[in-house]
Structure 1
Amino acid sequence: MIDAATAETFARCLRVGGVAVFPSDTVYGLACDPQDKEAVRRLYALKKRDIEKPSAVMFSDLELAFAAVPELGARTREAMGRLLPGPVGVLVPNPGRRFGLACGDDPLTLGIRVPDLPAAAFALHTVRWPMLQSSANFAGEPDPRTVDDVPAGIREGADLVLDAGPLPGTPSTMVDLRGYEDDGTFAIVREGIVPAADITRLLARSGR
């Protein structure tokens, strides 16, 4: 159980430049302030991940994502509304070069996640994110389903570790929407917990 007090501790950790292990809707992840260069550097170092590789920016609410990236077109927003919140990540155009620390070597593309956290078990949905997030594993190794699956080196190096018990353990499905605004095209970058057929069905309903 992640109660309101724990959620506030999590939010405070990120506000002061900390790095936290936290439960998402899919796997355990690492989180930090996406605008804090030193915190992002620490997160990547904990994962042993190349700083030039992108990470997603996670929001607690879809409207917050839209407000943070106002350049998103109407068709792209409508498609995102079909997919999110939920265990899906999307790649969208980023002409404003927002959240540059999360974009790796491609500042014109931004990854966005809006998890669907069950309010009965988590109060993290009350935290007014955004946050840079990545799975709490060493690069290329299995995604952690439990806190015990998170490598000891990551747990010991993080400033906060939240434990909400077992998670599904399968990462989010990643969908590329960068061409959606122009001609309705999309691509499955990574098939994760949501099957590709379900993504196709959801986007086929979006009035393309």
Structure 2
Amino acid sequence: MATVLELNSAPSPQQIHHLAQCLQDGGVVAVPTDSFYALAASPFNEMALERLMHIKGERNHKPFPVLVGDPSQLDWLTEVIPDVARILMKEFWPGLLTLIFQARSTLSPILTGGQGTIGIRQPNDPRVCELMTHIGPLTGTSANRSGQPPAESVGDVMEQLGSVVDVIVDGGPTPGGQPSTVLQVVPEARILREGAISRLKLQEVLVRKGIPLS
């Protein structure tokens, strides 16, 4: 059964150490975000990614999104940050916008779904962002089995996944609502999934820079 770790404010050094050790050992953790609870594993640990794939169930080789604590961590995941991405990050990060970048060739095909791209966002939860500034980026797929409803509380996570994850970080209930909007930034700006951030809001920002939105 998963250990529950309360995160009422900024993470303590003890909590950071505990989670860092768990992730280093290939652990899978559930963490709160600004939408739902997410399944967090190190995107650089092949064993952890294999566990994550097994926990989620049938996904048809879908890639796993990644969360960062700060935009500077993008360099660990992609070699190129287009200008359109910088514009959108400045406007909408932290927040519910996932940007699709070209992935570094060293990243696992489990993470990228073999597509050579990677979806990244900075969640609008200062506690989790602070945690990631110490332990690095984390996978951010929803903390539920494929086909099941996303988890909005520790109880939801425990009910679905309490026997298969190592730690559940209890940050209280999450807001739920719409998932993040997913936007491709190369070779053009194109919405792949409209979610919490509308096409209109994105267009308002990009049109000022003379950038079309497909």
TM over 0.5: yes
Counterpart residue number, 2:193:
190
User: CA distance change for structure 1 residues 59 and 118 in 2, over 3 Å: closer, same or farther?
Assistant: closer
Give 3-state SS (helix, strand or coil) of 2:69's partner: coil
Query: Once superposed, what is the RMSD of the aligned Cα atoms?
Result: 2.4
Moved over 6 A (4+): none
Question: CA-to-partner distance for each residue in 1:111-160, whole Å, 9 max, x for gaps?
Answer: 112112235x9742543412222100111222111111226341211011
User: 2:86 and 2:129 mapped to 1: Cα distance?
Assistant: 26
Q: Which amino acid letter does the alignment assign opposite residue 167 of structure 2?
A: L
User: 1:38 and 1:177 mapped to 2: Cα distance?
Assistant: 30
- Of 45, 53, 68, which aligns to 1:59? 68
User: 2:24 and 2:209 mapped to 1: Cα distance?
Assistant: 37
Is the counterpart of residue 105 in structure 1 residue 114 in structure 2? yes
Counterpart residue number, 2:57:
48
User: 2:146 and 2:114 mapped to 1: Cα distance?
Assistant: 17
CA shift, 1:18, in A, is 0.6
User: CA distance change for structure 1 residues 186 and 83 in 2, over 3 Å: closer, same or farther?
Assistant: farther
Q: Which amino acid letter does the alignment assign opposite residue 87 of structure 1?
A: L
CA shift, 1:204, in A, is 2.9
**Identity rate, percent:** 28
Question: CA-to-partner distance for each residue in 1:5-31, whole Å, 9 max, x for gaps?
Answer: 324322222122110011112110101
Counterpart residue number, 2:162:
155
User: 2:135 and 2:74 mapped to 1: Cα distance?
Assistant: 11
Is the counterpart of residue 17 in structure 1 residue 20 in structure 2? no
Question: CA-to-partner distance for each residue in 1:158-201, whole Å, 9 max, x for gaps?
Answer: 01111111111132221122233xxxx322x2222323322222
Q: Which amino acid letter does the alignment assign opposite residue 168 of structure 1?
A: P
Counterpart residue number, 1:116:
124
TM-score (norm 2): 0.81
Q: Which amino acid letter does the alignment assign opposite residue 37 of structure 2?
A: Y
User: 1:49 and 1:178 mapped to 2: Cα distance?
Assistant: 28
Q: Which residues in structure 2 correspond to 1:61-80 (within 5 Å)?
A: 61-66=70-75, 68-80=77-89
Q: Which amino acid letter does the alignment assign opposite residue 135 of structure 1?
A: S
TM-score (norm 1): 0.83
Q: Residue 20 of structure 1 contacts residue 160 of structure 1 at CA under 8 Å; is this kept in 2?
A: yes
Counterpart residue number, 1:86:
95
Between Structure 1 and Structure 2, how many residues are aligned? 200
Question: CA-to-partner distance for each residue in 1:10-66, whole Å, 9 max, x for gaps?
Answer: 222212211001111211010111121111111111111336210112211011114
